[in-house]
Amino acid sequence: MHTISMLFNELGEKVAASSQRASDIVSIDDLIFHQLDNKQVLSFASLQSRLMKQARIDVSIYFQGDHYIGDVIRMEYTGNTQTVFVVNAKYIAQRAHISTDDSNNIINSTDIAPWEWDISTDIIKINEHWANIQGFALDEISPVTATSWKDSLHPDYTELFNYELQRHFKGETRQFEIEYPIYSKDKDLVWVKDFGQVVARDAQGQPERILGTRLNLTNVKIAQFKLNDLQQQLDNLMDLSPSLTYKMCADADERIQFITQSTEQLLGYDVDDILWQPKWWRQRIAPQDLWEYDRCRDIAKTRLQQPIMDCEYRFINKEGEEVWLIDRVRYVDNGYESPYFIGTILDLSEFVTLNQHFKTLSLLPPGVIYQFQQDKNGHYSFPYASDEFENIFGVPVEEAARDANIPFSMINEEDLAGIHKEIERSTRTVTESNAEFRITRNNLTRWYFFQAKPAKQKDGSLLWSGQIIDITERKALEQQLEQQAITDDLTGVYNRRFFMEKAHQMLVGCQDSSRPFTLLCIDLDHFKLVNDTYGHFCGDQVLIEAVKKMQSALRSDDILARIGGEEFIIALANVTLDNALDIANRIRRDIRMFTVFCNDTPIFQTVTIGVVESEPDNTLTELMKRGDNALYLGKKSGRDQTMTG
């Protein structure tokens, strides 16, 4: 009698059949199934449940008034995400098996390459499609054994193949499933995916027979590899781009669904801290610019002909700094997902700052706006300079445009060396450069400051845009403030802080070169009485005149400082103790001999001086203490004395 094999999908709908006799069957429910042992009727749902635990169920089948005996087999194809049920029904005279031609025809019609592995004989039965996947005809590759099967594997996947197979043999997985490359007849790599299930075991539970299928994934893998390459190229392009790209929900929460990694470089924030956080972006926009941000988005929602909207606003980066951004945004409502915004963002801060900078400079007549260029051959020039350039350098801008060395020749030689080093550093790092320099013209020296930012050009050159400003008055003020910081306001000599620094350097230098170093510790005798008797104004005049007498006895590199009200100290390099005593006695004699008239009243003054010479291991503090002790002995001996210590 006839044999019928039928294929049903997971919903029980008929997909294919091997006989016209089954043409009236639409669903598996058109068949009546009985268990062979107890004749219990089995529904499709109960068959599905049982087939989750075992590979095949033997059944008795009734349809169209005839009685059949056969089996139901459940097969899964994960790669195709499909589950199928094969019903093999033979007339009551013969039992059906999966290996029948009709059953194979049904499976072949689904473009699936089945295989059946008899472990006892180590023979794997395959069909023509299975052989064709590797570029063989069936007779070229048969018989297939476990060894020849594994030999076709790419060696990198042999271990994984054996591991997954043994897991299934041990019952750890419901089915054997692996995706891997194999070698074709022409030694090319072909990607396949194998599925298999143990359908019979021996008395000891060892597998005897496995049924399976193979799918050719080569085209899928090629598409996947191309997609991965394309995605990688896109990621690389995005990483190289100075902008960031984003996708943001267009609802009230404005959650960011996607944003590129360049966010960290541009704004300092980690991507993971941004994604899906409600109103994250809005909360970091400067409050005064939120109206512009909302206006741009409202307009983007209504634009049809020109859907891209440019919006500029200030944004707070992770460091808490305010940066200017330009946001090119587009509204998308495609009908199958919630509306959203996509956009790209660039940092405009440098452009805004430079624009403001040039606007400010243009209002400063003493300043120069310029462009300075190093071409690909290393030649320097000033392609552009404003009119004030010639007034500063004394060089026409046309000559500077030909060769930068012409205006450079006007710069102080000491400063020019530093400028060249700064240009070399800026060229190497492509970062902002700045320096101070002097120009002397008509016997008048003026100080200038330049600041410039470089940018690489397409022709290989480097172009700086910058400014030069006159800082002569600032430098004079700096020098004045510096002098005030290190000198005594009344007498103009150095103060104690500066003396300690400079005298220490002088002492160390003398000790390192075995040269003599001496200190003179000076105190004006009975000076408090002068202040109390004649007043502080008169006392100040006495101090000023005493300092003049001290200075007249010293060399230009000797250090004189006021370290207290009427206390002074002198540091002498390359001066022995005997020579220092001569200098001290001269100072003492000159001060004793002068008279200060204050309010027509003559005031006479004397000093006591302690003189000490450094020993090899003396510190400045120790030497000053020795000088104070000598000074004290002089005062104790009647004042107007010179004593050594």
In a domain, 21, yes or no: no
Among 109-123, 446-460, 547-561, the range of highest mean pLDDT: 547-561
Distance CA 355, CA 413 (A): 33
Distance CA 506, CA 619 (A): 11
Distance CA 539, CA 603 (A): 9
122 & 231 share domain: yes
Contact 32, 63 (CB under 8 A): yes
Report residue 482 as tokens: 């510096």
Does position 78 have pLDDT exceeding 70, yes or no? no
Distance CA 255, CA 277 (A): 5
Q: Which of 412, 441, 475 is where one domain is finished?
A: 475
389 & 471 share domain: yes
Q: pLDDT tens, 388-430?
A: 899 899 999 999 999 999 999 999 999 999 999 999 999 999 9
Contact 508, 619 (CB under 8 A): no
Q: pLDDT tens, 498-542?
A: 999 999 999 999 999 999 999 999 999 999 999 999 999 999 999
Backbone angles phi, psi at 217, to 5 degrees: -105, 10
427 & 557 share domain: no
In a domain, 585, yes or no: yes
Q: pLDDT at position 77, please? A: 61
Distance CA 51, CA 204 (A): 23
504 & 639 share domain: yes
48 & 189 share domain: no
549 falls in which pLDDT band (50, 70, 90)? very high
In a domain, 33, yes or no: no
105 falls in which pLDDT band (50, 70, 90)? low
Do the bridges between strand 433-441 and strand 444-456 make them parallel or antiparallel, or are there none, so unpaired?
A: antiparallel
Among 51-65, 328-342, 562-576, the range of highest mean pLDDT: 562-576
pTM, 2 dp: 0.36
Q: Which of 308, 323, 350 is where one domain is finished?
A: 350
512 & 596 share domain: yes
Burial 354-374 (b: 16+ CB within 10 A, else e): eeebeeebeeeeebbbbebbb
Q: pLDDT at position 218, please? A: 86
76 & 123 share domain: no
125 & 181 share domain: yes
Q: pLDDT tens, 120-159?
A: 889 999 888 888 999 999 899 888 998 888 899 999 999 9
Strands of the sheet with 368-374, listed across from one edge: 380-385, 368-374, 462-470, 444-456, 433-441
- For the segment 446-466, the average pLDDT, to the nearest whole number, is 88
In a domain, 12, yes or no: no
In a domain, 565, yes or no: yes
Q: pLDDT at position 365, please? A: 47
Can you list the alpha helix ranges (DSSP code H) found in 184-286? 218-240, 262-267, 271-274
Does position 104 have pLDDT exceeding 90, yes or no? no
Coil, strand or helix at 173: coil
Nearest to 197 by CA among 174, 179, 178, 215: 174
- For the segment 555-582, the average pLDDT, to the nearest whole number, is 95
255 & 346 share domain: yes
Percentage of residues of the chain with pLDDT beyond 90: 45
Average pLDDT across the chain, whole number: 86
107 & 197 share domain: yes
Q: pLDDT at position 342, please? A: 87
Domain range enclosing 387? 365-475
Q: Hey, what amino acid is at 573?
A: A
Q: pLDDT tens, 220-245?
A: 888 888 877 776 776 666 565 667 88
In a domain, 358, yes or no: no
Q: pLDDT tens, 279-335?
A: 999 999 999 999 989 988 888 888 766 677 888 899 999 988 888 888 888 898 877
Q: pLDDT at position 237, please? A: 60
Which DSSP helix (H) or strand (E) runs through 134?
none
For residue 555, the domain's CATH number is: 3.30.70.270
Distance CA 392, CA 432 (A): 22
Q: Which of 475, 501, 523 is where one domain is finished?
A: 475
398 & 440 share domain: yes
In a domain, 389, yes or no: yes
In a domain, 91, yes or no: no
For residue 336, the domain's CATH number is: 3.30.450.20
Domain count, the chain: 5
165 & 139 share domain: yes
Does position 94 have pLDDT exceeding 50, yes or no? no
